[in-house]
Structure 1
Amino acid sequence: MDAFLVATGIVALAEIGDKTQLLAFLLAARFRRPLPIILGIFVATLLNHAFAAAVGALVSELLGPSVMRWVLGLSFLAMAIWALIPDHVDEADAALPKLGVFMTTLLAFFLAEMGDKTQVATVALAARYTEIAAVVAGTTLGMMIANVPAVLFGERIANKIPLGLVHGIAAVIFMGLGMATLMGAGNGYGF
C-alpha cells in the first residue's frame, strides 16, 4: 500500500505544470472531446509507466543493494531539483498527428512522457519498491489526478493553481525520499 500511495502522491504533484499536463490542456483546447482524450492519456500512461517500472525492476536486480541505495537516493535528490524547473510545450511538441482524438492523444502523450520526470520517477519508484503493480497503478492514478481536471476544466483551473508551491512540495517529497534512502530507510526493501 505504501508503494501505491507514495507513487500516486509523487506523480500527482510532479505532474502539475509538467509538459504532459500542458499537452493535456492543448489537446482539450484543440479537440474539445474530453472522453477520448482522457482514455488516451490513461492508456498512454499505463503503457509508458509499465515499461518504466519494468526498467526500474531490472535495474534493481542488476545492481547490488548498496549501489542501488546510492543510485536511488541520488536519483530522488535529482528529481527534487528537476521538480523546481518549470516545463513548457515546444512547437514541435504541439505538432499533433491527425489520427483521431484517442490515437492522437495516446501517441502524443506516450512520446511526451518518454524521459519526462514522471517516467523517471516511475523507474526510481519501481526500483525502490518491490510491488511493481502498485507502483504502476499509483503513478497512473497520479497522472490521472493531475490531467483529468486539466482536460475537463482547462484554463479555468490552470490560472488558480500556485505552481511554485506545488513544485516546491513535490521537491520536498523527492528530497525526503532521497535523504531517507541514502540514510538507509530502504534497508527493509533489500537496499
Structure 2
Amino acid sequence: MSELVGATLAAFGVVFLAELGDKTQLLAANFGSRHSFRKVVAGLALGYGAASLVAVTVGGVLGANLPQRPIEIVGGVIFIVFGLLALRSDDDEGDEDGARRAMVRSSVVGAIAVAIFVAEMGDKTQIATATLAARSNPVGTWLGATAGEVASGSLGVAAGSLVGDRIPPSVLRWGSAVLFVAFGIAMLVGWP
C-alpha cells in the first residue's frame, strides 16, 4: 500500500509542477473563460485521465514511448481543426429544448476532453508519467499524474473564469481560434 501512496504522491508533485504554464493549462484557462467551471473540469478530468492512462500503459507495460513526431503532426492538424470550429458561435443560449441543451453540454465536455487528450500526447508530462510508471506502481502513477494535471488545469480554469465575463464572446471566440491554430502550427513545425 505504501508503494501505491508513494507513487501517487511522486507523480502528483512532478506532474503538477510540470503542467504549470503548459499549453494545456492555457487551454484550460481559455475553456474556463467560455464555459462553466464544472463542465471544463469534467472535460479536463476525462482528457487528462485518458492521456495519463496512455502514458502509464506505454511506460509501465511497454517500457518505451510512442514515436513523438507522428503524434505531433496528428495533434497539430486536430488543433487547427478545433481552431476553425471555435469560430462557430454557441447557439445554446436561450434554447428551451432540454435534450438539445444536454447534448450541447456533453459535447462541450467531450470537446474539451479530446482537446486536452490530443495536447498531452508526446508532452513533457506524458514522458514524465511514462518514466515514473516504468519505475514504480503504475496505478499510483496514473492516479497522481491525473490528479496533478487536473489540479494544475483547474487553476487555469479559475483564471479564465475570472476574465471570461469581462470579455465579449466574439473576442473569446477569436482568441480561442487563434490559440488553437497557433498550438496546431507549433505542433506541426515541432516547436515545444
CA contact (8 A) 2:15 2:148 kept: yes
CA contact (8 A) 1:12 1:146 kept: yes
User: Which of 1, 13, 22 is the matching residue for 1:9?
Assistant: 13
Q: Please list every run of at least 4 consecutive aligned residues from structure 1 whose deviation after the TM superposition is greater than 6 angstroms.
A: none
Show the counterpart of 2:146.
140
**SS class of match (2:122):** coil
**SS class of match (1:115):** coil
Measure the CA separation in 2 of the matches of 1:27 and 1:96.
15
Matched, 1:95 2:55: no
Mapping 1:74-89, distance limit 5 Å: none
> Which segments of 5 or more consecutive residues in structure 1 lack a partner in the other structure?
63-90, 158-191
Measure the CA separation in 2 of the matches of 1:2 and 1:56.
17
**SS class of match (2:43):** helix
Mapping 1:44-59, distance limit 5 Å: 44-59=47-62
**How many residues were matched structurally?**
127
Measure the CA separation in 1 of the matches of 2:118 and 2:17.
20
The Cα of 1:32 is off from its aligned counterpart by: 2.7
Identify if the C-alpha distance between structure 1 residues 133 and 97 changes in structure 2 by more than 3 Å, giving closer, same or farther: farther
Show the counterpart of 1:152.
158
Measure the CA separation in 1 of the matches of 2:148 and 2:47.
13
Q: TM-score, normalised by structure 1?
A: 0.60
The Cα of 1:95 is off from its aligned counterpart by: 1.1
Q: TM-score, normalised by structure 2?
A: 0.59
Identify if the C-alpha distance between structure 1 residues 103 and 94 changes in structure 2 by more than 3 Å, giving closer, same or farther: same
Matched, 1:119 2:126: yes
The Cα of 1:153 is off from its aligned counterpart by: 2.9
CA contact (8 A) 1:23 1:94 kept: no
User: Which of 105, 112, 129 is the matching residue for 1:105?
Assistant: 112
> Which segments of 5 or more consecutive residues in structure 2 lack a partner in the other structure?
65-78, 87-103, 164-192
Question: Percent of aligned pairs with the same residue?
Answer: 34
The Cα of 1:25 is off from its aligned counterpart by: 1.0
CA contact (8 A) 1:96 1:104 kept: no
Identify if the C-alpha distance between structure 1 residues 59 and 150 changes in structure 2 by more than 3 Å, giving closer, same or farther: same
Show the counterpart of 2:23.
19
The Cα of 1:58 is off from its aligned counterpart by: 2.3
Amino acid at match of 1:135: T
The Cα of 1:137 is off from its aligned counterpart by: 0.3
Measure the CA separation in 2 of the matches of 1:103 and 1:43.
8
Identify if the C-alpha distance between structure 1 residues 147 and 16 changes in structure 2 by more than 3 Å, giving closer, same or farther: same
